[in-house]
Amino acid sequence: MNAAPHIGFAYELVLADVIARYHRGLKEETFFLTGADEHGDKIARASKKEGLAPQDFVDRNAILFQALIKKLRISNDLFIRTSDKKHHWLGAMNLWSEIEKAGDIYRGKYEGFYCVGCEAFITEKELVDGKCPTHNTAPESIKEENYFFKLSKYAPELKSILQSGKLKIIPESKINEMIALIDAGLDDVSISRPEGAIPWGIPVPNDSSQLMYVWCDALSNYISALGYGRVDDENFKKFWPADVQVIGKDIVRFHSILWPAFLLSAKIPLPKELLVHGFVISGGKKMSKSLGNVLDPNEFIDAYGGDALRYYFSREVSTTEDWDLTREKFKETYNANLANGLGNLVSRTLKMAEQYWGGKVSGDASSVPPIRTRITETETLRDLGGFNIPYLVTNNIFPRYHEHMRANEINRGGDVVWELISYLDQFIADYEPFKLVKTDKTLAEKTVWGILYGLQAVSEMITPMMPSTAEKMDILLGPKVKVDSKGDFTFSVTVPKEPLFMRKQ
């Protein structure tokens, strides 16, 4: 919240949104939370620079985040702000009190380094050439009286929950990294700062001379948002523990060590999974203001539409790895996969349906040709020789798509969708229904009906990824009229007035 939303945050929002929409589509009850961590030194300093009070500063930036959420059609149930006294503070303070009751908080003197960028105390052995390796800045020396949390006490239990998979981390490589940190020894951590040191935060219960350390405050948002610590805690009872928490790779340590330790202390169940995504780079370089390669998500949304950016995030970004984005690369993949790919396929097919059958195309889903459901590494869908697209969709495409989506491998789910799209393109090239219609109109209708059936499956699968495009496709593909008991039906389609995706020069 110390600046306008970055393209990396747009990515994180879309990733979480695709997961939430996918599960909602399966009729699973879903609660999707996002929000903003608004306290801490970093925010206080950034607001001072602009001559604003911290609250006014975060209120102003919150509008930018909300606008982005709306533009991208993010379906979050709640946007929690940690400066929200009514919805967040009580939960955060309640968590503190529970930890205190467990005997895990004591007063002590802290003397050491603090990195404002990390909002974290940093030890001498973590420094590289005297600087924080993440921010490349020298930390500040601090000497103050704070409250400490007995993190060291939880080291064995934390190790066992990570080893046993009780708290799953994707990618798994992070588990070993975290276990190595635990094995190197966990010190107790300072979880408050004197009020004078950070003028902006939640007071420690029963000691207003101290404010909660920002991570202690921020992490509790996951439960405060659900009503933890309040009378109206139905959502907390219903939805906690979280099935998945989607985070960036720079904050794994806080989420897989500090956060579970707080919960263990307060006897609150742990989230089930941490999905850790990578960082965005641009043209091979980390985005930074000084390099002038910072990309604003709004630029892409305004030029290409929200679904185009959602497509990029859902298909072109490998969830757990760092990813690259440049304007050139974006345009190239947009033209190839949306304008020429999906958009062109939809236009061509609907035009054929209109031209030869007046928009009403009947088909037969019951004949099952001898196709195999599994394909080997080197085979393509085309090698299966499947003429029966319903059979192919049901037995090959859908199972693989759902396998990836259930595992939160969103880009691999996206790959399956585009595999079907290129198969349908190939199908037109192989059977040439536009020629076939002159010699065998019935067979030509079967092929076009098959492609329409495939497009309907595409629309269903892209619903979590590109909701607006899926809605448009559903309207174009029209209501399906059942013609007999075998499940055969007639499409009644409309030709779009303009392409789904305009080609960009």
Alpha helix positions (H), 306-409: 306-311, 327-333, 344-357, 389-392, 398-406
Binding flags for Zn ion, 293-322, as an x/- string (CB under 5 A): ------------------------------
Q: Which residue has the tokens 């939430």?
A: 20
Residue 72 binds Zn ion (CB under 5 A)? no
Least distance (Å) between residue 132 CB and Zn ion = 3
Question: Which CB, 48 or 135, lies closer to Zn ion?
Answer: 135
Residue 340 binds Zn ion (CB under 5 A)? no
Here the contacts of 29-33 (C-beta below 8 Å, separation 24 or greater) are: 29/238, 30/77, 31/77, 31/78, 31/226, 31/235, 31/238, 31/239, 32/75, 32/76, 32/77, 33/76, 33/77, 33/78, 33/80, 33/221, 33/222, 33/225, 33/226
Question: Which CB, 237 or 286, lies closer to Zn ion?
Answer: 286
Least distance (Å) between residue 125 CB and Zn ion = 15
Least distance (Å) between residue 372 CB and Zn ion = 53
Question: Residues with Cβ < 8 Å from 214, sequence gap 6 or more?
Answer: 37, 39, 40, 41, 119, 198, 201
Residue 117 binds Zn ion (CB under 5 A)? yes
Question: Which CB, 66 or 134, lies closer to Zn ion?
Answer: 134
Selected from 72, 115, 325, 476, the binder of Zn ion by CB under 5 A is 115
Least distance (Å) between residue 110 CB and Zn ion = 17
Least distance (Å) between residue 426 CB and Zn ion = 51
- Name the phi and psi angles at 70, rounded to 5: -70, -45
Least distance (Å) between residue 177 CB and Zn ion = 17
Least distance (Å) between residue 202 CB and Zn ion = 22
Question: Which CB, 121 or 423, lies closer to Zn ion?
Answer: 121
Selected from 7, 19, 118, 247, the binder of Zn ion by CB under 5 A is 118
Residue 2 binds Zn ion (CB under 5 A)? no
Residue 248 binds Zn ion (CB under 5 A)? no
Q: Which value, to the nearest 10 degrees, does the dihedral of the CA atoms of residues 75, 81, 82, 83 take?
A: -170
How many Cα neighbours within 13 Å face the side chain of 15?
27
Sheet holding 273-277, edge to edge: 168-170, 273-277, 245-248
d(C-alpha 4, C-alpha 64), whole Å: 6
Q: Are 256 and 274 in contact (CB under 8 A)?
A: yes
Question: Which CB, 118 or 251, lies closer to Zn ion?
Answer: 118
d(C-alpha 360, C-alpha 352), whole Å: 11
Residue 203 binds Zn ion (CB under 5 A)? no
Residue 214 binds Zn ion (CB under 5 A)? no
Stretch in the footprint of Zn ion (CB under 5 A) among 12-20, 74-82, 111-119, 196-204: 111-119
Other Cβ atoms less than 10 A from the Cβ of 121: the count is: 20
Question: Which CB, 247 or 263, lies closer to Zn ion?
Answer: 247
Binding flags for Zn ion, 125-154, as an x/- string (CB under 5 A): -------x-xx-------------------
For residue 307 the two structure tokens come to 């679904």
Question: Which CB, 118 or 295, lies closer to Zn ion?
Answer: 118
How many Cα neighbours within 13 Å face the side chain of 212?
28
Stretch in the footprint of Zn ion (CB under 5 A) among 22-30, 65-73, 118-126, 157-165: 118-126
Least distance (Å) between residue 498 CB and Zn ion = 49
d(C-alpha 477, C-alpha 361), whole Å: 11
How many chain residues interact with Zn ion (CB under 5 A)?
A: 6
Question: Which CB, 1 or 115, lies closer to Zn ion?
Answer: 115
Least distance (Å) between residue 183 CB and Zn ion = 23
Amino acid identity, residue 376? T
Residue 223 binds Zn ion (CB under 5 A)? no
d(C-alpha 364, C-alpha 505), whole Å: 41
Q: Which residue has the tokens 């290129």?
A: 422
Question: Which CB, 81 or 255, lies closer to Zn ion?
Answer: 255
- Spatial CA neighbour of 466 closest among 316, 327, 278: 316
- Spatial CA neighbour of 433 closest among 330, 324, 349: 349
Least distance (Å) between residue 403 CB and Zn ion = 38
Question: Which CB, 134 or 492, lies closer to Zn ion?
Answer: 134
For the chain, the straight-line distance linking the first and the last C-alpha, in angstroms and rounded, comes to 35
Question: Which CB, 134 or 152, lies closer to Zn ion?
Answer: 134
Q: Which residues bind Zn ion (CB under 5 A)?
A: 115, 117-118, 132, 134-135
